[in-house]
Amino acid sequence: MIPNQWYVILESNEVKKGKPIGFTRMGEKIVAWRDGNGKLSVMSDLCPHRGVALSIGAITGDCIQCPFHGFEYDTSGTCKLIPANGRNSDPPKAMHVKTYPTREAHGFVYMWWGEPRADGDYPPLQWFDNITEDMVYTTIKDHWANHYARAIENQLDVVHLPFVHHNSIGRGGNTLVNGPVAKEIKLAPGSYRIDMWVDNAPDEGQKPIKPSEMSEPTHRPLIQVYMPNLWQNWLSDDFLVALAFVPIDDENTLMYLRQYHKVRFPIARQLTEWLGSLGNLFILRQDKRVVITQRPPRPDLGIGEVLIPGDYPIVLYRKLRRALIDGEKT
C-alpha cells in the first residue's frame, strides 16, 4: 500500500450507532463504531488484554466494551474501565487500542494509513470537484479477488475495451488506440491525480498516434484517478460513475461503485438507478472475470510484462505509485 495517504475504507452509512462492525483493511483486522453522540472511531479489532475481537463486543455509552472481560475503551482507544480492578481504579496507560485518524465526507469513511501526525496537520481529503451536492447516487459493492492496484489499472486500460466489453461499452470494434493522453497533476507533496483522454478508433490500416504525438486536449478528461484509491468516469456534467477501490489485503479488494446523476422525478430517478445499477454491475463483472486472473497479483514496475504505447496511463500510474511507496516527501 502507499503509505501516508487517506484511503476510502467504507461508506458512512455502514457504521450504525450502537453496533460495532469488524472488517479487514490493508491486511489488518479493524473495528468501526460510533459513540452515543455519533462520533466515529476506527481502531484495531483487538483488545490489548487477551487479544479478543472488540467487534463482537457492545457499545456502552461512549465506549466499546470487550466481550471477554468487560474492558471499556473510548473513541481515542483509551481504556476507561477495567471492571476487575474496580470503577475507582485508573487503568494502566499500556491498556490502549491502536486508533486510526478518520474523517467522513461525501458519504465515505476515510482512514489515514501511515505515520500519525502529532499536530493533527493531515492533508485534505481527495474528491472530484465536478461531483456536486445536488447530485444523487446509488452504490454497488463487489468483492474482487485481486490487489486493488490491479483493479485501478483496469480502469486506466483502454486497450481492453473492444474485447472484454465487446457487447457493452466496447461495441463498435475500435481496436486501434491513439495515445492515450494521460497527465499527472501534482496537487500537494505526496498528492497526485491522473487525468486521461481516450481516442480509440477503427483499424483502417492507419498507424496509431503515439502518446507523445497527441494534440493537447481542449476538453475535460474522460477519466480521473485520485491517488491512492478513487476513480471517476466523467461521462457528462450531469452523469458520471465513480469507484473507490478499497484494499482488504494484498489479494482482495472491495469495490464501491457509484452512479451519480441529477434526475429528480421519483419514477424517472428509480428507473435511472435501476437500469444504471444493472448496466454498471454487468460491465464490472466483465472486467472482474479477466482481472482476477492477472499474475503476479500486485503490479509494479519491472514485473516482466511487455507493455505497448496504449498502456501509457498504466505506466504513469505505476511510476507515481512506486515513487510514493519509495518515500516521496509528504
**pLDDT tens, residue by residue, 99-122:** 999 999 999 999 999 998 887 889
The pLDDT, as a whole number, for residue 271 is: 83
The grid cell for 244 is 473507490
Residue 10 phi/psi, 5-degree rounding, is -155, 170
Which runs of E-coded beta strand occur in 77-236?
Answer: 79-81, 99-100, 102-105, 108-113, 136-144, 176-188, 191-201, 223-226, 230-236
Does 94 or 274 have the greater pLDDT score? Answer: 94
The residue extents of the domains of the chain are 5-113, 136-325
Whether 315 contacts 307, CB under 8 Å: yes
Q: Which residues make Cβ contacts (< 8 Å) with residue 23, sequence separation at least 6? A: 10, 29, 30, 31, 32, 248
pLDDT tens for each residue of 128-185? 999 999 999 999 999 999 999 999 999 999 999 999 999 999 999 999 999 999 999 9
Predicted confidence (pLDDT) at residue 306 exceeds the cutoff of 90: yes
What letter represents residue 137's amino acid? Answer: Y
Whether 248 contacts 254, CB under 8 Å: yes
Predicted confidence (pLDDT) at residue 329 exceeds the cutoff of 60: no
The pLDDT, as a whole number, for residue 181 is: 97
Measured CA to CA, the distance from residue 216 to residue 197 in angstroms comes to 10
Mean pLDDT of 298-302: 95
The pLDDT, as a whole number, for residue 265 is: 80
Does 322 or 263 have the greater pLDDT score? Answer: 322
Measured CA to CA, the distance from residue 60 to residue 68 in angstroms comes to 14
Predicted confidence (pLDDT) at residue 330 exceeds the cutoff of 50: no
pLDDT tens for each residue of 228-273? 999 999 999 999 999 999 999 999 999 999 999 998 787 887 888 8
The grid cell for 140 is 454497488
Whether 222 contacts 125, CB under 8 Å: no
- Across all residues in the chain, what is the average pLDDT? 95
Give the whole-number percent of the chain exceeding pLDDT 90: 89
Predicted confidence (pLDDT) at residue 16 exceeds the cutoff of 70: yes
The pLDDT, as a whole number, for residue 296 is: 95
Topology given in CATH for the domain delimited by 136-325 = Naphthalene 1,2-dioxygenase Alpha Subunit; Chain A, domain 1 (3.90.380)
Predicted confidence (pLDDT) at residue 275 exceeds the cutoff of 90: no
The pLDDT, as a whole number, for residue 328 is: 63
Residue 225 phi/psi, 5-degree rounding, is -130, 125
Mean pLDDT of 121-127: 93
pLDDT tens for each residue of 176-224? 999 999 999 999 888 999 999 999 999 999 999 999 999 999 999 999 9
The pLDDT, as a whole number, for residue 203 is: 97
The pLDDT, as a whole number, for residue 165 is: 97
The pLDDT, as a whole number, for residue 130 is: 95
Give long-range contacts, CB 8 A cutoff, 24+ apart: 119-126: 122/6, 123/6, 123/188, 123/190, 123/191, 123/330, 124/188, 125/6, 126/6, 126/187, 126/191, 126/193, 126/226, 126/227, 126/230
Predicted confidence (pLDDT) at residue 28 exceeds the cutoff of 90: yes
Residue 53 phi/psi, 5-degree rounding, is -70, 120
Q: For domain 5-113, give the CATH number.
A: 2.102.10.10
